[in-house]
Structure 1
Amino acid sequence: MAITLDISRQNAGPAAPAVPGSDTAPAETGAAGLAPIVGLSRAELAAALSGLGIPERQIRMRTAQLWRWIYNRGARSFDEMSDISRTLRDRLSDAFTLERPEIVSEQISEDGTRKWLLRLAPSGPFGQRHEVEAVYIPEEDRGTLCVSSQVGCTLSCTFCHTGTQTLVRNLTAGEIVAQLLVARDRLGEWPDALAANPNPPLAGRYVTNIVLMGMGEPLYNFDNVKTAMEIVSDNEGLSLSRRRITLSTSGVVPTIARAGEEIGVMLAISLHATTDEVRDRLVPLNRKYPIAELLEACRAYPGLSNARRITFEYVMLKDVNDSVADARRLVQLLRGIPAKINLIPFNPWPGSPYECSDWDQIERFAEIVNRAGYASPIRTPRGRDIMAACGQLKSESERLRAAERRALERNVER
């Protein structure tokens, strides 16, 4: 039985400032107009401290102290930072905020999957507060956090619930990182909480893997995703290996190589079809970057090897892409690419135009792919009862109605 916890108005992770040079990230403020500090790179944090008047000789030390408190200890207040003087803590509190996004709701599936609806800090000229979803999936040997990179999505993939929500804006680096902070808060994964946990998880961690497979297309928010993953993988803080971070793209071909070179995480491709005719319908981006171009970019992905295989995601849609001929074409298309193929039973959502393939057909499809030498696990649906499964994420946050916007504009003019 699914559980919904009413924890609205409980804060759990800051919405951070835009990465310099990103013209799609909104101007944001935290509590009382303070600047968010989560999401700043080390260089940006150092510059912020310099702007606060910290002596140059102390910048490196103070940056390291703050970094450890925020990302290793999970501090939610500058008052917790006991090795920093009271005077400096007061100055930091007057300039910056460690406020978390507001947890609007937390749902717990009967299989242990958790979904958080997070309300972000005010952004934009009218102080809109948008919402995103993050999902935690516990398994015996790992705990995977699925994070969002945008509010809404621009790709309109017809099998995906998120695709029915228009794109509102990119998330900032801090808003992406904050999803992991929220998860660690709620799961009790910070050092102090783990010390009191009588049954700590394997290797002392709940979140062992991150997948950028939530709301949005990560490669359309490249700069902020890059900065966020640098923070997440920093070994003096959150310390998640890049081998345990997977970026999923629907096929933004021109940016795939750059992602390998500059972000350096594992790559997943939302393929879902073996012909351009079908993929044009399922993933409209295919009309711009067809299958042949996409697979050419995959073959050239920096660091590609048997140890760093590309994962191809393939949602199983009854009588659409699940035939024996499709399975054989898939094998031919991926020939020569070190790859793993995730077969995903379609997760229904209200109004969806598709059905999940019959289980016998999914197994027949998997057998053909397996015989060709590819690992092709059939992904067990998780969190379906709370609409947390693959393709089901969609927050209730939409753009303000025109009337509301006009009212806000009138108030500003006054």
Structure 2
Amino acid sequence: MKKKVLAVIIAAMAVLAGCGGEGGEPQSPVQTVKPVVIVDEPEVTSEPTEELTTTPEPEEDREGMYRSELTNEWIDESLQNQRPIAVMVDNEKTALPHYGLTQADVVYEIMNSTANGRVTRFMAIVKDWGSLTQFGSIRSTRETNIYLVGEWNAILCHDGGPYFVMGNSAANYKGLIAQKDYCDNLSGIFPRVENGKPSEFTEYIVQDDRSVKKSGKTVAEGISSKGYSVEYNEYYIGPHFKFSSQEYDLSGESGSFGCNEIQLKPFEHNNSRLEYNEATGTYDYYEYGEAHLDPENGNAQLTFENLIIQKCSFSVHEPAKEGYFIYNCLGSGEGYFITNGTAIDITWEKGGEAENGSGASLTVFRNKATGEEIVLNTGKTYIALVPDDTWNTIVIK
């Protein structure tokens, strides 16, 4: 054994000697030194040999808690099988401030209409909906949201929608919600809050003990009245994202580039902007030229660890003047994944669905350079579906 180690050391010294000293001519890069095998010296099995072993770090375990499948954060284990809700939140300036949005795990921002400056609407995915004291305000849903809600086995919370979503018996048209077995929904059941605004801006998820409550149901009451399962059911596809076990930095990825700010100019009505906060390692959300604050949670700013910006084409419903449309979210495309101040180009793909509405499919995001599925950092995620005809107006700094 001593001969073998000595042979390796001698070989290494010989290679290093060929690299030249200070002031010498530059040499070719040093090649990796391979171990020298002494074929005429058998191992002595009677003497113990030292081996370098690496003991894997034990996976952290917290009593009574588990890592959320939506954020990878530690949450109460009683929530493990509970279905999330997906809440449609109005994003007109009149609807501000939004209550409770910082408690969402995943927030989609989606163009809601091709009219009105392409105003957007949020769809907020919330796992621990029992902890919400006031959330909203709540508005109507669109077809795109129905396809996306199935990815989470979430219960869609909204206030109606156009005929092609809700159905119209006079036109003998079956709405999309009714076509999708996986889409459980609660529509228009939530309390109205006295806030001095027009009626369409007064519906919120609130708890029974809120003094602002006038009438309506809580989430739990709505689920019970509909006979829905509170726990994941047969339409649950499984966890949506892959998360890194430690802080993940994209700067080492091929083609990565810095992103301290992203301006979503395509959302011209509210001018969404996300700015990197180096102190917290998150992206703070701004719209209408101001920080987005949550009065229900100490005026905390809406912020995210992960950003996914998804380029998507769309088809307009007639008459076009109404502004109704659907994103072509079943298919494939490109976009950006952004975390910790760095971005990469990605692709996305969402497969088809069963014609009888019994099965949804996941949107899978991949590193464009490697084809591998992206890995997210622990924390909240923002997903923007950006129309392809204005994609090139996005500003990244």
TM-score, scaled to structure 2: 0.24
TM-score, scaled to structure 1: 0.23
Higher strand share: 2
